[in-house]
């Protein structure tokens, strides 16, 4: 079985063991697998997977067709079109996961495109709705709004009835942010008099968080998901106290199976109708065959991406 691996900080494709599903698991013949910032970090040796996962294997999300199931698996059957998240190894011809964590791919949705949906969808839905408590009319700031997670987060916030501000690198790509559903497009140096925000989805880290903290509404919540622009900062506790603000952080990867399964159910119930009808879309920057994974990783590291970068493994 062919799989993307990272060895000595270089990405390549190698032959790995053929995975077999355990009792409650399903084996998925992967059609496409998205690339995420965490893969890049892992490949560079900065973000090892949780204990028990092979640090050489890459890939956190996939879509494909179930081709084998364990004896106690009830959630899916051979032949089902599915997508999901995993703590590693999704960029491969086959991936084995707990069947309860799989989400069906609606018939209207292309399996290649679906491979770029789960990581952003699970992350954004969990952060905005389950952790952030987003309700209709909330003012939401999404930093890194044109990236993989951000572009889905802007759409989800809009669908949920929020007033959405999208923070982008510069104003050259405003039209894309408005097309996602943003009401307002901001750059970092415009943040100081924006808001106040009920929810900040912090995908960039310290550089924007430093300013966003001062723009929080009363009872505002900040959910920190990414730290690409810096992982630490000094901020005024009095500012936070004054608005009774909450700052929380979250990661998805190391969560136990039952939490991922719960999230899969919420994604299936809350987001699939919008995905199927096209009001929620995965924006694809480009696709690369699995064998060209190294080139795709290189492209991911360039600024100015427009949505997801996907590795295609087989035709659907
Ligand atoms: N906690 C979790 O469970 C979880 C899950 C998924 C992702 N994440 C993290 O969330 C972050 C976003 O992930 P992603 O997949 O959306 O990454 P991505 O696709 O690379 O998107 C990042 C976006 O931020 C923009 N950006 C970067 N630096 C900026 C700056 N200084 N000012 C303005 N915009 C800037 C990028 O623009 P350019 O293209 O112009 O650089 C890009 O649009 C990453 O740090 C990732 O590790 C966390």
DSSP 120-179: HHHHHHIIIIIIT---TT-EEEEESTTSHHHHHHHHHHHHTT-EEEEE-SSGGGHHHHHH
- Mutate-to-test residue for ligand 1 from 115, 144, 166, 174, highest number of ligand atoms within 8 A of CB: 144
Nearest atom in ligand 1 to 249's CA: 1
- Ligand 1 centre and the CA of 226: distance in Å? 7
Cβ–ligand 1 contact at 127 (below 6 Å): no
What are the pLDDT digits (tens) for 139-178?
999 999 999 999 999 999 999 999 999 999 999 999 999 9
Contacts of 2 (CB under 8 A, 6+ apart): 13, 14, 15, 16, 92, 93, 290, 291
Distance 272 CA to ligand 1 centre (A): 24
Q: Phi/psi at 86 (nearest 5 deg)?
A: -150, 165
Q: Is 249 in the pocket of ligand 1 (CB under 6 A)?
A: no
Q: Which residue's CA is the closest to the ligand 1 atom numbered 3?
A: 251
- Residues 245-270 pLDDT 10s: 999 999 999 899 999 999 999 999 99
H/E stretch holding 86: none
pLDDT digits (tens, 9 = 90+) for 188-230: 999 999 999 999 999 999 999 999 999 999 999 999 999 999 9
User: Binning pLDDT at 50, 70 and 90, where does residue 77 land?
Assistant: very high
Average pLDDT over residues 13-34: 97
Cα dihedral 49→53→55→59 (10° resolution)? -70
Establish whether residue 280 lines the binding site of ligand 1, counting it when its CB lies within 6 angstroms of any ligand atom: no
Q: What is the mean pLDDT of residues 45-72?
A: 95
Tell me if 17 CB under 6 Å of ligand 1.
no
Confidence check: pLDDT of 316 > 90: no
**pLDDT at 309 (0 to 100):** 97
Q: What pLDDT does 154 receive?
A: 98
Buried b (16+ CB within 10 A) or exposed e, 67-106: ebbbeebebbeeebbbbbbbbbbbbbbbbbbbbbbbbbbe
Global pTM?
0.96
Nearest CA to ligand 1 atom 43: 147
């Amino acid at each position: 079985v062919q799989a993307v691996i990272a060895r000595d900080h270089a990405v390549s494709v190698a032959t790995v063991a053929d995975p077999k599903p355990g009792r409650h698991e399903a084996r998925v013949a992967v059609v496409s697998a998205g690339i995420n910032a965490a893969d890049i970090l892992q490949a560079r040796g900065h973000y090892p997977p949780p204990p028990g996962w092979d640090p050489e294997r890459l890939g956190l999300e996939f879509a494909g067709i179930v081709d084998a199931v364990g004896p106690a698996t009830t959630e899916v059957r051979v032949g089902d079109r599915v997508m999901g998240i995993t703590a590693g190894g999704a960029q491969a011809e086959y991936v084995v996961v707990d069947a309860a964590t799989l989400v069906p791919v609606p018939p209207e949705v292309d399996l290649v495109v679906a491979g770029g949906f789960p990581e952003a969808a699970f992350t954004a839905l969990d952060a905005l709705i389950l952790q952030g408590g987003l309700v209709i009319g909330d003012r939401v700031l999404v930093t890194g709004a044109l990236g993989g997670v951000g572009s889905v987060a802007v759409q989800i916030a809009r669908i949920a009835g929020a007033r959405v501000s999208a923070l982008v690198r510069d104003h050259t790509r405003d039209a894309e942010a408005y097309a996602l559903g943003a009401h307002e497009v901001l750059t970092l140096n415009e943040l100081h008099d924006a808001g106040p925000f009920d929810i900040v989805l912090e995908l960039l880290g310290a550089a924007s968080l430093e300013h966003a903290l001062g723009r929080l509404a009363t009872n505002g919540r900040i959910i920190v998901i990414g730290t690409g622009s810096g992982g630490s900062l000094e901020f005024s506790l009095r500012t936070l106290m004054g608005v009774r603000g909450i700052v929380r952080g979250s990661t998805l990867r190391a969560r136990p199976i039952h939490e991922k399964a719960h999230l899969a159910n919420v994604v299936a119930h809350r987001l699939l109708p919008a995905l199927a009808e096209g009001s929620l879309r995965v924006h694809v920057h480009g696709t690369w065959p699995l064998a060209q994974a190294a080139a795709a990783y290189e492209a991911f590291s360039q600024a100015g991406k427009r949505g997801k970068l996907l590795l295609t493994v087989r035709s659907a």
